[in-house]
Amino acid sequence: MLVAEILRDKGNAVHAIAPQLTVAEACVELQRLRVGALMVCDGDDVVGILSERDVVRAIAGQGPGALERPVADFMTSDVVFAAPGETVSILMARMTERRIRHLPVRREGRLVGVISIGDVVARQIAESAREAESLRTYIAAG
């Protein structure tokens, strides 16, 4: 299963915010969109990702005043990307190794979607179920 196939099925919606938005405003967007992370973009450039984990760290480290500071102060700026031609197993390894749950997908330098760990796990489960059913059918036809 390739990243491009996941995006084709789930869509390529990208939820992005500007780096100067406050953390409180970003939290409203996270809740409104029911997502765990937002891409932080300066024009067409992805400059970071703000996840729920980043928000928790901000408040734990800086107190409630962190909510009034800009997203740029707390976002993850070392963004790890995926490519449309990569496989689910490659993504799983990258996400596990880097301990991240969201990968923006870039094609020819342009942001074309976001893959979450939930998307990856759902694909792995579906693929395993298909393989098991194929084996049952093969054995039954025996």
- Regarding pTM above 0.95, the answer is no
The proportion of the chain whose per-residue pLDDT surpasses 70, expressed as a percent, equals: 99
Strand partners, 139: none
**Residue whose pair of structure tokens reads 């915010």 in the numeric block:** 17
The model's pLDDT over 99-114, given as tens digits with 9 standing for 90+, comes to 999 999 999 989 999 9
For residue 122, give the 3-state DSSP assignment: helix
Helices (H) and strands (E) in the chain, counts: 5, 5
Q: Say if residue 142's pLDDT is above 80.
A: no
Q: What class has domain 3-141?
A: alpha beta
Q: Residue type at 62? A: Q
pLDDT for the residue numbered 130: 86
Confidence at 12, pLDDT banded by 50, 70, 90: confident
pLDDT for the residue numbered 88: 87
Q: Which of 11, 14, 69, 5 is nearest to 46 (CA)?
A: 14
Radius of gyration of the chain (CA): 18
**Domains of the chain by residue range:** 3-141
The model's pLDDT over 45-103, given as tens digits with 9 standing for 90+, comes to 999 999 999 999 999 999 999 999 999 999 999 999 999 999 988 998 999 999 999 99
pLDDT for the residue numbered 136: 87
pLDDT for the residue numbered 96: 93
Report the alpha-carbon distance of residue 27 to residue 135 in Å, rounded.
46
**Between the CA of residue 82 and those of 31, 70, 100, 128, 135, what are the distances in Å?**
25, 26, 12, 23, 32
